Amino acid sequence: MALQGSTVSKQTQKSDQRYGHSGRIQSEQMVPLASLLCREVKCKKIEKPVVRCGLAAQPKKGEDFAFIKTDCQRIPGDSSSTYGVFAVFDGHNGSSAALYSRDHLLNDVLSAIPAGLDRDEWLSVLPRALVAGFVKTDKEFQEKEQTSGTTATFVVVDGWTVTAASVGDSRCILDSQGGVISLLTVDHRLEVNEEERERITASGGEVGRLSTVGGAEIGPLRCWPGGLCLSRSIGDMDVGEFIVPIPFVKQIKLSSAGGRLIIASDGVWDSLSSDRAANCCRGLPAELAAKQIVKETLKSRGLRDDTTCLVVDLIPPDNSLPSSPPLKNKNNLMGGCFSRRRPREASAKVAEKFTEMGIEELFEEGSAMLAERLGSEPSIPGEEGLFICAICQKDITPSEGISVHAGAFFSTSSRPWEGPFLCAACKMKKDAMEGKRTSQGIEVV
Ligand SMILES: [Zn+2]
């Protein structure tokens, strides 16, 4: 499944023209060797990786779903603007939220990206569009008044740039060429995420374990009302509104050495550590790698849950298969940046390691506050004097629009009269997610 079409041949053509078809450099075009090498490096950077993917799954309840689309185009009809989307949805209390997200999330994200952007602009607005898209999918699914909820781990691969957005506990890890494994998502599980426990408690929810008749507490930490173990998800209209669909988003640019992404539901991660999952399939092509991870999961604990694994390889265009370097040591898992105890310190370590490997960290944000995630923009109405709701993308008149920053006292940089704007229904959703009112619109005093 190669994403790359005509890009390489176009570039080759260009350099042929520059240096003449004989390959000899014309005397009047003589350039120093250093400049040539520099051009060579730049050219390599511009080349896209070949993207191959493999999916394996072993259902138990039938609530896991995967999504693969490798022929998306930023500019319709232009194959050089091709990118791929890979996602895993792990449903609970039924499969309708997972199915709905699989079928709508990509379109909801894309609807939040303005037309006419160049590639760099498109990539820089993508994190914000992911937030808007996740909230739109959640809101519209809830309007169908169906119960059930889902995790969503949604990964966009455009050239060497990987953007991962997630709610819930279906992780995406990166095994970079060099044998270093890093986590591109956070686990929104109450049991492991202290920051999320604090957010939910502050929004009026209660966090605790199930109690037996005798008073003993059992099982993982859950949020009440509802009893969900996750702090973020899509759907779940029957639990507190502080279970939000606002994703953690991370965007990185891999070096031209490439790497492997492993996206899987907790069926895998409850059995295998990130390094065991990465190690057990090194050197195998993506399809076999996904099968191997599922096999290793079953070997470890048997089939306890839906188990879904999606492997995506970003391969340098001149390599047919990813190489399989041995791990240097057992302690190179870089999940520490999301450790709840010392996030800043660990995050600096990860950034340092990324730099060593030639990986650029472009963006990382996990706040559950919409005002912090949607940024600010000057309030210039579009054609016919209308604004567009930043979440549902519906037209709103200036008198209907409410700034996402209205009432956001914590923000010093944004002004309540600036955009982006929300329609009344999306503003109500925003307030409910922040514990300011219930979904029925009743204000919480
Ligand atoms: Zn709206």
Q: How far is the CA of 170 from the centre of ligand 1 (A)?
A: 28
Q: How far is the CA of 240 from the centre of ligand 1 (A)?
A: 20
> Quick one: 59 and 159 in the same domain?
yes
> Quick one: 96 and 138 in the same domain?
yes
The β-bridge relationship of strands 360-365 and 307-315 is unpaired
CA distance 230 to 209: 13
> Quick one: 116 and 144 in the same domain?
yes
Assigned domain for 214 exists: yes
Q: What is the pLDDT of residue 80?
A: 93
> Quick one: 307 and 182 in the same domain?
yes
Beta partners for residue 249, in sequence order: 165, 365
Q: What is the pLDDT of residue 162?
A: 98
- Whose CA is closest to 99, among 168, 146, 162, 157? 146
Residue-wise pLDDT tens for the chain (445 aa)? 444 433 333 333 333 333 333 333 334 445 555 555 555 445 444 589 999 999 999 999 999 999 999 999 999 999 999 999 999 999 999 999 999 999 999 999 999 999 999 999 999 999 999 999 999 999 999 999 888 999 999 999 999 999 999 999 999 999 998 788 999 999 999 999 999 999 999 988 999 998 888 888 889 999 988 899 999 999 999 888 899 999 999 999 999 999 999 999 999 999 999 999 999 999 999 999 999 999 999 998 899 999 999 999 999 998 655 444 444 443 444 443 333 333 445 567 777 777 778 899 999 999 999 999 998 877 677 777 788 999 999 999 888 888 888 865 554 455 667 889 999 999 999 999 988 865 555 555 4
C-alpha distances in Å from residue 65, one per residue of 88, 97, 136, 309, 436: 6, 10, 19, 10, 33
The total of structural domains in the chain comes to 3
Q: How far is the CA of 111 from the centre of ligand 1 (A)?
A: 12
> Quick one: 423 and 408 in the same domain?
yes
Q: How far is the CA of 398 from the centre of ligand 1 (A)?
A: 13
Q: How far is the CA of 421 from the centre of ligand 1 (A)?
A: 8
Assigned domain for 290 exists: yes
Assigned domain for 251 exists: yes
Q: How far is the CA of 135 from the centre of ligand 1 (A)?
A: 10
Assigned domain for 43 exists: no
Joined together, the tokens standing for residue 324 give 């399989």
Q: What is the pLDDT of residue 252?
A: 97
- Whose CA is closest to 269, among 173, 374, 143? 173
Joined together, the tokens standing for residue 425 give 């229904």
Sign of CA dihedral 171, 172, 175, 176: negative
> Quick one: 183 and 77 in the same domain?
yes
Q: How far is the CA of 396 from the centre of ligand 1 (A)?
A: 8
Q: How far is the CA of 393 from the centre of ligand 1 (A)?
A: 6
Which residues constitute the domain of residue 376?
Answer: 370-433
Angle at 423 between CA 420 and CA 427, to 5 degrees: 85
Q: How far is the CA of 353 from the centre of ligand 1 (A)?
A: 41
CA atoms within 13 A on the CB side of 94: 12
Q: How far is the CA of 401 from the centre of ligand 1 (A)?
A: 9
Single residue among 229, 255, 285 that ends a domain in this structure: 229
- Which residues neighbour 395 within 8 Å (Cβ) at sequence distance 6 or greater? 386, 387, 388, 389
